[in-house]
Structure 1
């Protein structure tokens, strides 16, 4: 069992991830949690990670987080779940946000970034990218606007991504804001602006603490990509065998906790005016045979 507390105050950079008017924990943060738990459990690969419900961070206060890792099977694979509840909840239910499988056997990064920009790739103008995303409901702040340059070659998109000054990757496997910004390059190779991670497969982290990276994102389907990440010297950082990205609707960002479906409300009614008069008791029709 791994536990944590998250809030906009304890992790101010999270407030820069605004989707449909709500501050959401990015999908890349769930991946960071899974990678860290895998380190402790002897698993260097996130075999699967699927997001089931968004985690909305309240304006004030925080949320309690639990990541549970199960026992290893005969192949060393372990199931895990991620759940949360408001920190002021007094024994209330836990809402599950993600589940997946951890396993052994990190996959290599098959990406040579020593030649940069890649041969044959065409530079892409990123002007207006984040303004367009904001118009679509993805109002990312400075920490998540890390895309610095991009190129395209067929189904491949390449990017340089960096955290802003004052935000360091130290202390993270791969800073969630850095990886999230790397995924924004999908907008230049045919995918819609403003898609967010839904499910991950075959994720391996090879180096930690990066503040700037080079990325290759290869489109593998209508909603899926493969991702390879290196540092600025071309050394491997991370590999993602498959990532499914989907647009988030307004309904997706609503709090899904069971108690959130209920609220106390008062419904006004007209006052009852007392009637003054005489009353008589009338028997039932059964007591008066033959009369209607």
Structure 2
């Protein structure tokens, strides 16, 4: 999502209209991965197709594997709520005690940087999340519009909306209408 948003910035698109993961990107124990983002030409509405490919670093003789496909667009939508009021009025805190232990028991062992869900609240069917790095790690977010570990941590709150099953191991694989409204918050 971060890479798609950044690619959109480069071509004048401020919204990831659609992004679907097609295959997981497995990182090797050693070495790196070469990534390739391909953004196509704009259609009549300014929408641009996006594809994400990868292959092991230094493996020029191997084919690229497509990992995601999507569409970049213009016309970011305004935030759906006033973030100046936090937590949102009427929202009830969700207890997080043991949450990451339950994720680990389900096979999702997150390292310290990816355990960044600080708090969560529910208001009806909506779930609001606060994510953040420990003070000594905050500088790591600077190069990103939205650091991937913070996005991943925000997605952990989906478990409180019934959108994922911690025990069942389901994870998000598709996004739509993603706009970045602020950086460095």
* TM-score normalised over the length of structure 2: 0.91
Match among 155, 175, 182 for residue 200 of structure 1: 175
Residue 152 of structure 2 corresponds to 180
Between Structure 1 and Structure 2, whose CA radius of gyration is higher? Answer: 1
Kindly indicate whether structure 1 or structure 2 has the higher relative contact order, using CA contacts under 8 Å at least 6 residues apart. 2
- Please state if 1:81 is matched with 2:81: no
Runs of 4+ displaced beyond 6 Å: none
Which of 19, 23, 32 is the equivalent residue of 1:49? 19
Q: 1:117 aligns with which of 71, 82, 87?
A: 87
Count of aligned pairs between the two proteins: 180
Q: Residue 70 of structure 2 corresponds to which residue in structure 1? A: 100
Tell me the distance in 1 between the aligned counterparts of 2:72 and 2:149: 22
Aligned match for 1:190, one of 145, 158, 162:
162
Please state how far the C-alpha of 1:132 moved relative to its aligned partner: 0.3
Q: CA deviation at 1:125?
A: 1.2
Q: Relative to structure 1, is the Cα distance of residues 73 and 129 closer, same or farther in structure 2, using a 3 angstrom cutoff?
A: same
Task: Give the equivalent residue in structure 1 for 2:119.
Answer: 149
Q: TM-score normalized by structure 1?
A: 0.59
Unaligned residue ranges in structure 2 (runs of 5+)? none
SS of aligned partner of 2:144: coil
The answer (yes or no) to whether the contact 1:80–1:99 under 8 Å persists in 2 is yes
Cα pair distance change 1:90/1:110, threshold 3 Å:
closer
Q: Displacement, 1:34?
A: 0.7
Tell me the CA shift for residue 119 of structure 1.
Answer: 2.3
Distance 2:98 2:154 in 1: 17
Indicate the SS of the match to 1:151: strand
